[in-house]
Structure 1
Amino acid sequence: MFENVQAAPADKILGLMMQFREDPRDNKLDLGVGVYKDSHGDTPVLAAVKSAELRLFDSQKTKAYVGVQGDKEFCAEMASLVLGDSVSMDRARICQAPGGTGALSILSMLIGRTAPDATVWLSDPTWPNHMPLLKNARLKTQQYPYYDTKNGKLLFDGMMEALSAAKPGDVLLVHGCCHNPTGADLDLAQWAAIADLCLEKGLLPFVDFAYLGFGDGLEEDAAGLRLLASKVPEMLIAASCSKNFGVYRERVGAAMIIAAAPAQAEATFTQLMSVTRAVYSMPPDHGAAIVRMVLTDPHLKSEWITELNDMRNRMLKLRSGFAEALRRESNSSRFDFIADQRGMFSRLGIAPEEIDRIRADHGIYIVGDSRINIAGLPDNRLDEVARAIVSSIE
């Protein structure tokens, strides 16, 4: 059976990780892998998460399955965190999923089951795993212009022009905040225009919400998604807790359905549960139980919000400091856009051969499309990194 199997194309980010591990240089720097790092270069366990984990250890009395939907209280808390009061909850259904990727996957399979002829429109560029998981669900895809990498600007007019070709029943995949890989986000007026477009053309919005709280704040980051939810009859949301709770390896996410009426929501949810049952049967409990405990305990929630604010503010400070360092080294405003963007990522807009030189000469690892992890920048090496980048580009 396997004698003629061809090796799958290597994942570029995973390949970069392996190169980094094998690099013997002491001053090497990983700006590729998408995890938050503190000032010591570590990905910390949040204090609120650690406290909840200890409580869970002391109180948990069984490891029995939690059910196909997962932890129902976790689901309710996630719905409140993401949606607020933007939509009547009798129109919404939520299930726990193994990470944001798990939520994206089962919702994509739901689309494939209920609307197999739909085209999913996604941004160019987008998170590298979007296309593979959509293809895995056997969905047709089409990309819309989103970002001018050379000039560091959002291409909203081009996006809207391209989407004018979308057909009723098509799906519009958008990033809820902190766009990966560009850091360029939609403003509220643009969210409103997208809502109007979805209503006019009969499109189903599908929001990937992986970085809530990493942009401008919990409420601010959710504002666009909530505006959209308040206007459209149907919507899909894939939410992740990996970044804002720092529980990457626990795989904590939520898949949300909003329908025009409660009966439609319930019928669609049964299909989602059928998809889930066939894919992984039951979701993992540990991480979701931790998140649920944090969100339901006022002290832990307050502590978590403080820690989340600290992470976000550190990234904002790194953005402004790095943009200033690049301005000094390049004697230009070429990289000023970095300070205006949000979240963990930005694209430098430099060529692949320049990225290769930066890695070879300075041990700084950047993804081939020039995406850098802002949170991976060491506070005390901004000038050094900026100097290495500027000295390596044409």
Structure 2
Amino acid sequence: MNKTAFFDSLTEQKPDPLLELIAKFAADPRPGKIDLGVGVYRDETGRTPVMKAVKAAEHHLWETQQSKSYIGPEGDPVFLRTLASEVFGERRGGKPVAGIQTPGGTGALRLAAELLALDKRRKIWIGTPTWVNHQAIFASVGLQIATYRFFDIEKQTVLVDEMLTTLRNAAPGDAVLLQTSCHNPTGAALSQQNWRDIADIIAAKGLIPLFDNAYQGLGRGRVEDAAGMIDVIETVAEAMVAVSCSKSFSLYRERTGAAYLFGDRQASLNKAIGNLASYARTSYSMPPAHGAAIVAATLEDPSLHRTWVDELSEMRTRIVEIRLAAAEAFGQFRPELANIGSQEGMFSLLPISPENVRQLRSEHGIYMPDSGRINVAGMRVRDIASVAERIGPYLT
């Protein structure tokens, strides 16, 4: 009998660094250890709670849901309609919109990447540093990736001029990846004028913007966080948006998201959605239904919607409080880190070497990725000063 050695012939893959970090933190027996790595919101007790609105929506579904049958590759139409209304509001420049439900924001990015990769000449421009999975997603479909510097870690500032110059030099038909708000991993925010300049260049050059909208409501507010994205959508011919419900609804494990397309003609959008549905069918076939049903129930019910808005506001207020305290504490070691207070969302990027990150981990039980990205929501307000005192001497 012939024996195969197919599995033995495979190339061993490196484990995901963040997943490795989770395992190392869990195995650390020290009581004072601090997790600044995992990208989930935590309250002052260190928990990632289920939102009250979500619990109430789940109870409603338990009482009223009558089937667990498939929902189809396109997903739940009520979810898509209510989420679009919440994310984009009324400001769309009169543009038609079409959407498809996806397994989280990552699934939406992957479907968008598949569509963009149909043109083998196209590049997608990505500002660096960026979320660690961005480049891997686009590379996996054969899309050409080009990068530019977006953020100066030492000065803690956005490199707006470099960004705009890069976009001016991009080829017509190229795509550009833009994070709507609460930039991961830097927390850096663009001004409204920056967004207008970006919109004008994208429109003039005939570029295709792809927005990663993962943290809406955790920066300046639900409407404010989307304002720059809406400026671009109103200005350009076509746009793509990947929406995640993981953070704003705290639905991490439900893998709830959507991809939305904007254009001038509904018929063209419907054709594009048909292509996305085809990719979905050969990948995961149908999206998971439970999280989408929760979001739809929450957004459709005025009382649950108010409860959710209040909870999201509380989360945002806590993040702002942490940022202001962290800006003061870390700014004593590096004046530039006072900018943490004007950044937004859960993440900031510290100027620290991978060697010093590992030393912090072994000597002080403070866990963060080698990049120096910290989840500010992983800190309790009362611990910020002591955390900064331990990290400060390791900053480069």
TM-based fold match above 0.5: yes
**Structure 2 residue corresponding to 1:155, chosen from 133, 156, 159:** 159
**What corresponds to 1:173 in structure 2?**
177
Q: Does 1:289 align with 2:293?
A: yes
**What corresponds to 1:343 in structure 2?**
345
Tell me the distance in 2 between the aligned counterparts of 1:169 and 1:393: 41
Note if contact 1:84-1:226 (Cα within 8 Å) is conserved in structure 2. no
Q: Which amino acid aligns with 2:29?
A: P
**Structure 2 residue corresponding to 1:228, chosen from 225, 228, 232:** 232
**What corresponds to 1:69 in structure 2?**
74
Tell me the distance in 1 between the aligned counterparts of 2:196 and 2:163: 14
Note if contact 2:115-2:276 (Cα within 8 Å) is conserved in structure 1. yes
Tell me the distance in 2 between the aligned counterparts of 1:293 and 1:88: 28
**What corresponds to 1:44 in structure 2?**
49
TM-score if structure 2 supplies the norm length? 0.96
TM-score if structure 1 supplies the norm length? 0.97
**What corresponds to 1:55 in structure 2?**
60
5 Å matches for 1:312-391? 312-328=316-332, 330=333, 333-391=335-393
Note if contact 1:86-1:229 (Cα within 8 Å) is conserved in structure 2. no
**What corresponds to 1:271 in structure 2?**
275
Tell me the distance in 1 between the aligned counterparts of 2:317 and 2:89: 23
Tell me the distance in 1 between the aligned counterparts of 2:354 and 2:269: 46
Tell me the distance in 2 between the aligned counterparts of 1:76 and 1:334: 43
5 Å matches for 1:120-159? 120-159=124-163
- Measured against aligned partners, the alpha-carbon deviations of 1:149-192 in whole angstroms (never above 9, x if no partner) come to 01100000011122232101000100000000000021111111
Tell me the distance in 1 between the aligned counterparts of 2:84 and 2:344: 23
Q: Does 1:187 align with 2:191?
A: yes
Gaps of 5+ in 1: none
**What corresponds to 1:83 in structure 2?**
88
Note if contact 1:103-1:255 (Cα within 8 Å) is conserved in structure 2. yes
Cα gap change, 1:90 to 1:274, in 2 (>3 Å): farther
**What corresponds to 1:97 in structure 2?**
102
What secondary structure sits across from 2:81 in the alignment?
helix
Note if contact 2:351-2:395 (Cα within 8 Å) is conserved in structure 1. no
Note if contact 2:95-2:234 (Cα within 8 Å) is conserved in structure 1. no
Q: Which amino acid aligns with 1:360?
A: S
Count of equivalent residues:
391
**Structure 1 residue corresponding to 2:242, chosen from 238, 245, 265:** 238
Tell me the distance in 1 between the aligned counterparts of 2:312 and 2:150: 28
Displacement after TM superposition at 1:86 (Å): 2.3
Gaps of 5+ in 2: 1-5
Note if contact 1:124-1:145 (Cα within 8 Å) is conserved in structure 2. yes
Q: Which amino acid aligns with 1:38?
A: D
Q: Which amino acid aligns with 2:394?
A: S
Displacement after TM superposition at 1:89 (Å): 6.8
Displacement after TM superposition at 1:391 (Å): 3.1
Q: Which amino acid aligns with 1:274?
A: S
Note if contact 1:16-1:367 (Cα within 8 Å) is conserved in structure 2. yes
Tell me the distance in 2 between the aligned counterparts of 1:186 and 1:334: 17
| Greater Cα shift, 237-246 or 351-360 | 351-360
Displacement after TM superposition at 1:349 (Å): 1.1
Note if contact 1:318-1:374 (Cα within 8 Å) is conserved in structure 2. yes
Note if contact 2:240-2:260 (Cα within 8 Å) is conserved in structure 1. yes
What secondary structure sits across from 1:2 in the alignment?
helix
Tell me the distance in 1 between the aligned counterparts of 2:26 and 2:392: 25
Note if contact 2:181-2:225 (Cα within 8 Å) is conserved in structure 1. yes
Q: Does 1:27 align with 2:29?
A: no
Displacement after TM superposition at 1:372 (Å): 0.1
Note if contact 1:212-1:218 (Cα within 8 Å) is conserved in structure 2. yes
- Measured against aligned partners, the alpha-carbon deviations of 1:285-322 in whole angstroms (never above 9, x if no partner) come to 10000000000000000000000000000000000011
- Measured against aligned partners, the alpha-carbon deviations of 1:97-129 in whole angstroms (never above 9, x if no partner) come to 11000111111111123x232100011111100
Note if contact 2:123-2:174 (Cα within 8 Å) is conserved in structure 1. yes
| Greater Cα shift, 78-87 or 127-136 | 78-87
Tell me the distance in 2 between the aligned counterparts of 1:189 and 1:302: 31
What secondary structure sits across from 1:94 in the alignment?
strand
Displacement after TM superposition at 1:145 (Å): 1.2
Note if contact 2:154-2:336 (Cα within 8 Å) is conserved in structure 1. no
**Structure 2 residue corresponding to 1:118, chosen from 119, 122, 125:** 122
Sequence identity of aligned pairs in percent? 41
Tell me the distance in 2 between the aligned counterparts of 1:162 and 1:184: 18
Q: Does 1:305 align with 2:309?
A: yes
Cα gap change, 1:164 to 1:19, in 2 (>3 Å): same
Tell me the distance in 2 between the aligned counterparts of 1:122 and 1:82: 23
Note if contact 1:195-1:228 (Cα within 8 Å) is conserved in structure 2. yes
